[in-house]
Amino acid sequence: MVLLISLALAAILVFPGREFIRKRQGLCYWACCAVSAGVIACVFSGISQSLTGVAQTLLNVFLQGGLAGALFIFVMYAGAMPDRSAFRRAVMPIRGPLSIMASILTLGHNVAYGRTYFAYLFTRASSLRWNVLLAAICSLVMIAVMLPLFVTSFLRVRRRMKPRAWKRLQRLAYLFYALMYVHVLLLNTTGAREGKWTAVLNVALYSLLFLVYASLRLSRTAQKGGREGWTDWIQLACSALMIGALVAIFQLASPTAAAPEADAAYAEPAAWTDGKYKGEGVGYNGRLTVSVVIRDGAISKAVCTGSVDDEPYLTDAVEGVLGAIVEKNTTNVDAVSGATTTSDALIAAVRDALAKAVGE
């Protein structure tokens, strides 16, 4: 959803807006700075939590890195399209400004997510799920690669560099694009395995976009090197890869693969020993911890003491699941729909804590 809206917004910016971008580059950069600052303010003030409907979707386009990603995709495609294509001719003259705008737009995304994910990466890396850990490391490399590309995209800097050195440095862009794809795949792995349609769609669309790009780019390189005969093979290999990847993705998300195994009945004792107990489970992004208080042999309080899972899923699961556990005095409660993994992890964490209350 975020990707589709972002691609549509990028198309509006690039096609009707390209003359404006070409003539008023400074203004466009400042506008992107203002958007990133707005995103950061919304997240740190907590306003992002209270938004709903169109406002929330619009914020997500910037917050989740969608528009920045879409602008990078336009820049990528412009470089890979045949010389005479209308798309290439429209985008090439504003390729530099578009890359700069996309880089500035990643700032809001980097700060908003970095404050949680980097905090975990540097202090409690073992709490993160493997895919989230790799995605956070990947983000660090992406930022390191993006910075020199960003600085040298400014015409003033470019003019001071030797053309050969500039071209050599710009080859880092291919590494950056590859990392962006890996970043998105890693972050959608858990959701796709759960059969979450937004994650499956994201994986499928990004795979399609990046494989078509790879096919175009390799064909262009083959043609430039006088190896026209290779293009058919390249396109065939990329199409086979694409079909294979899509089948694998949809297989992963098929109801059989996503269906949870039959939940073994959990037998609870009649009462627990009074006290305060800690437990943990594995949520959507990594380990989460809970604290449970037993008074007069019943659950009187259950709170989540730490989690890297994203809002608003975490709040929904905490309110729904922990609230029901205390109210009903049992862990045999339903998961909150839309936040199933976090809910299941909270239930597992409370059971982990309660196991200690039986032995004491």
What are the backbone dihedrals phi and psi of residue 76, each rounded to the nearest 5 degrees, phi first?
A: -60, -50
Contact 294, 272 (CB under 8 A): yes
User: Which of residues 202 and 307 has its CB atom nearest to ligand HEM in the complex?
Assistant: 202
Terminal alpha carbon distance of the chain = 50
Q: Is 65 in the site for ligand HEM (CB under 6 A)?
A: yes
Token look-up 């962006």 returns 180
User: Which of residues 25 and 131 has its CB atom nearest to ligand HEM in the complex?
Assistant: 131
Secondary structure (H, E, C), 246-261: HHHHHHHCCHHHHCCC
User: In which element (H, E) is residue 275 found?
Assistant: strand 275-282
CA distance 305 to 279: 10
Stretch that binds ligand HEM, among 107-115, 251-259, 320-328, 348-356 (CB under 6 A): 107-115
Closest C-alpha among 193, 191, 178 to residue 252: 193
CB-based contacts of 348, cutoff 8 Å, min separation 6: 279, 281, 282
User: Which of residues 69 and 281 has its CB atom nearest to ligand HEM in the complex?
Assistant: 69
Binding mask 121-160 for ligand HEM (x = CB under 6 A): ---------------x--x--xx--x--------------
User: Which of residues 114 and 297 has its CB atom nearest to ligand HEM in the complex?
Assistant: 114
Q: Is 87 in the site for ligand HEM (CB under 6 A)?
A: no
Binds ligand HEM by CB under 6 A, chosen from 187, 204, 288, 324: 187
Indicate the Cα dihedral angle 331, 336, 340, 346, nearest 10°: -40
Stretch that binds ligand HEM, among 65-73, 225-233, 250-258, 273-281 (CB under 6 A): 65-73
CA distance 215 to 237: 8
Contact 212, 188 (CB under 8 A): no
Q: Is 110 in the site for ligand HEM (CB under 6 A)?
A: yes
Q: Is 97 in the site for ligand HEM (CB under 6 A)?
A: no
Applying CB under 6 A, what is the total number of residues that bind ligand HEM?
Answer: 25
Stretch that binds ligand HEM, among 33-41, 61-69, 167-175, 325-333 (CB under 6 A): 61-69
According to DSSP, the β-strands at 275-282 and 287-295 are antiparallel
Residue 206 CB, nearest distance to ligand HEM (Å)?
7
Binds ligand HEM by CB under 6 A, chosen from 36, 48, 64, 207: 64
Which residues here bind ligand HEM, judged by CB under 6 A?
2-3, 64-66, 68-69, 106, 109-110, 113-114, 117-118, 136, 139, 142-143, 146, 180, 183-184, 187, 202, 310
